[in-house]
Structure 1
Amino acid sequence: MTNKVLIPVTLTAVALWLSACSPEQDSAEGNTPAAAPTEHSQHAAAKPAAEDTLPAGRQPAPADARVYIISPADGATVTSPVTIQFGLDGMGVAPAGMHKKHTGHHHLLVNVTDFPVDRPLPSSEQYIHFGGGQTQTTLELAPGDHTLKLVMGDWKHQPHDPVVASETITITVVEE
């Protein structure tokens, strides 16, 4: 007899839990955060919250915002792995998926000469995303010359307006 009562109660509890966790429920209550892009939704905009609509298009950056590579220095000769430290002035760092005015997250472009500004930056070995708000990385780079450039991306990985990008530096990786 206990099992007959327990099964319907358990199923009801699971059904209530699932309905409370559904995206439709969150959206109806205005609790939908700006979702971090995934492999499948990287270029899709997050569903806006009911009370504060997320802005479309490129996000404004402060005129004095500046991103730069602290180290290695331009022209440095290094061995792999290479630690790259990021610097930022005039704006803040926020994780991908979090919309907050005058913030963004770093993208490191390795051996890239041009990048899109009208859409989110791609993700690859040459376009490295730091959506967790990281401010440095260590990379394995093959011997030879490599160019490095930082670009700030907004909550959806799109460059700001105006673009906040570092100077391109060149480093030479040598074998130890």
Structure 2
Amino acid sequence: MKLHRLLAVTLLAPLLATARTPAPPDAEVYFITPTDGATVTSPVTVRFGLKGMGVAPAGIQNDATGHHHLLVDTDLPALDRPVPTDDHHRHFGAGQTETTLTLDPGTHTLQLLLGDFAHIPHEPPVMSPKITITVE
């Protein structure tokens, strides 16, 4: 009997580890600045907005909270795993609500994705529409 429990726990552990944190259905993350279609100069100040939830640092598990991830020139990552960490997936795990980006001249896309205490997007995902900016 103990062996069966151990086997069950071993098989279920990966599923439990990636369980998604619930988000209120009216939660919304959005860009305060820049706006979609804006022409800007580098460095670019990006300010994040959030409605219906609160901001909490990574590692802190509170209901209806999360922290920001900024996606730069990329598509959404897998929504059932932690957001990757690289130049295209910027983490703000200390609870920051703005950043300054140095971007090359040209067209760039930005998107916000809220992550829970473990950097996993909520269920349903709390994400902004993707915006496009032009850097002169």
- Determine the C-alpha separation between the residues in 2 that align with 1:108 and 1:56: 21
- Determine the C-alpha separation between the residues in 1 that align with 2:35 and 2:18: 36
Root-mean-square deviation (CA), in Å? 1.5
1:116 aligned onto 2:82: no
1:160 aligned onto 2:117: no
CA offset digits 1:35-73 (Å, max 9, x no partner): xxxxxxxxxx9xxxxxxxx98510000000000011011
Report what 1:91 is aligned to: 53
* Equivalences for residues 1-176 of structure 1 within 5 A: 57-174=19-136
Identity %: 60
SS, match of residue 62 in structure 1 = coil
Q: Which runs of 5+ in 1 are unaligned?
A: 1-44, 46-53
- Determine the C-alpha separation between the residues in 2 that align with 1:94 and 1:145: 31
Query: Alignment length, in residue pairs?
Result: 122
User: Which structure has more RCO (C-alpha within 8 Å, separation ≥ 6)?
Assistant: 2
CA-CA distance at 1:153 after TM superposition: 0.1
CA-CA distance at 1:114 after TM superposition: 2.8
CA-CA distance at 1:167 after TM superposition: 0.7
Give the letter for the 1:138 counterpart.
T
Give the letter for the 1:145 counterpart.
T
CA offset digits 1:8-38 (Å, max 9, x no partner): xxxxxxxxxxxxxxxxxxxxxxxxxxxxxxx
Give the letter for the 1:171 counterpart.
I
**Structure 1 residue runs of 4+, over 6 Å off?**
none
Larger radius of gyration: 1
Tell which deviates more after alignment, 125-134 or 109-118.
Answer: 109-118
8 Å CA contact retained: 2:18, 2:81: no
Give the letter for the 2:96 counterpart.
Q
CA offset digits 1:86-106 (Å, max 9, x no partner): 000000000000011110000
Q: What TM-score comes out, normalization by structure 1 length? A: 0.67
